[in-house]
Chain A
Amino acid sequence: MPSTQTPPITGLAKDPTSLRPPIDDAQIERIEPAQLHARLVELKARGYSMLLDIGAVDYPERAPRFDVVYHLLQMPLKRASVAEVGTPKRLRLLCGLPAETAVLPTATDLWLNANWAEREIFDLFGISFDGHPDMRRIQMPNDWEGHPLRKDYPLRGPAREKSPRPSFALKSNVQAGTPPSGRTLEALQQQIARVRGQDTKS
């Protein structure tokens, strides 16, 4: 949660990927969910043999809401020296996905490591993968509610408010504002005693 002294400065971009500066980090492609699996099969056949990572980003004010991002790398499938590996090509595949149908075809049939990557996206974003052999939470406990990396998931929930905290961080003190400088030790001790008194009563 941002500090109370510094109000958040949020960016204005609703679709940052469309505004990206010219950075030479990978070849970038956008693809529809319906064509995704066929495209992945084709790319794998073209030598993109390593699936480096699958990530996801939530843009609540954009349609489609989610971006699932595949990072691919061209890698030889046999022993290779530094010169033979050279500078392999990188490819980034961005797949826009609406919130209503947050389901994608799995890539586990193509790359073994897609298993945990897809489970993590399911766990933290609530996007499930059709055909995945083991679709369950991976980072959060099995009985957790909600998907934490969605933008509408609060950083602090009701459970967090109930947890014990030092007196200076109590909500009433934070709302009253930080006292002006020059606070004496006595005033601080009084405040602590007052808060402790409140805490023991409740």
Chain B
Amino acid sequence: MKYLDEYRDPVLAKKLLAEIHRITTRPWTLMEVCGGQTHTIVKQGIDEALPEGVRMIHGPGCPVCVTPLEQVDKALAIAARPDVIFTSYGDMLRVPGSSTDLLALKARGADVRIVYSPLDALKIALANPARQVVFFAVGFETTAPANAMAVAEAARRGIDNFSVLVSHVLVPPAMTALLDSPANRVQGFLAAGHVCAIMGWTEYEPIAEKYRVPIVVTGFEPLDLLEGIWMAIRQLEEGRHEVENQYTRAVTREGVRLAQQQVMSVFEVGNRKWRGVGEIPMSGYRLRPEYARFDAELKFDVGDIQTMEHPACIAGAILTGEKTPLDCTAYGTLCNPQKPLGAPMVSSEGTCAAFFSAGRGLGSGSSFSNALPLVQVAPIAPEGAR
């Protein structure tokens, strides 16, 4: 397939891998920021093929994983209303709130629909003028332009039965918060290619300078990641700390101005909570006051919902790369994609789910999926998760 097969070539992959091995003289710790990158790394086993001592820490860049419990609870409260059609990207439907998730709410009669674009949610609003249509606007800078466009379009056309529940987060504040932590061990970053496609990389230049870390804007295909890793290690080995661009076919230094303008005309930067992390100042988008009538939190009066997170799963430590799923006692036993305890097990971009679907640490012969007997007439084995 054009534009994909070129970036999955096994011969080139092995050459790049050999080159990484050749230039690496000591241990390095890198973080890939985006969950899509984590998925490719784990799916292809790239981390296992790297030189001894080179460690990939999986970053916080899965929008599903960082959406705070509180926002999920607000979504559930809104979706449960009989006058509401709640629309969302598919991944968010399985993210557990305090007591249930959107899929289960749907099974109990709520009108919850998967859309592939916020503009489709707008279409649903037009087709159902007697009902309130709410879109769950989650994601990093990548999804913000389309979400902003939907709100601007609703305003322009006076579609007043449309609103958005905003949970937008930004990459640079999260990176800064990571680097400020005394526990940080990350020495170089693979920045998220699609975030940078929109935003460019100018905002990463002061970070690379201040913290003296190499940042390589990197794509999502196997060869992209291998090349990004190679570029980051080359900088580290040479003692450089610059922003470099591996993903040249999609990213320019300035990004896409039109998309940025669209975003900033509808949203403004404000404080945001991150799941498992807490509130990070100026780390997300919220609607500008002039678009307040499209804010589902105000429209449905759920702004007061505040949920404390429970100290059981280690999603926070996994999101920040401090721990891997293999460090979690619940991973693969109490917690699996069918019964996720934390968000990183929910989305296919989540680190835990990526590990799980690649069978990491599940042991041969007793992998979870295959531990299901096809027919069981004996009493059901007790399950710890119950």
Are A and B bound to each other? no
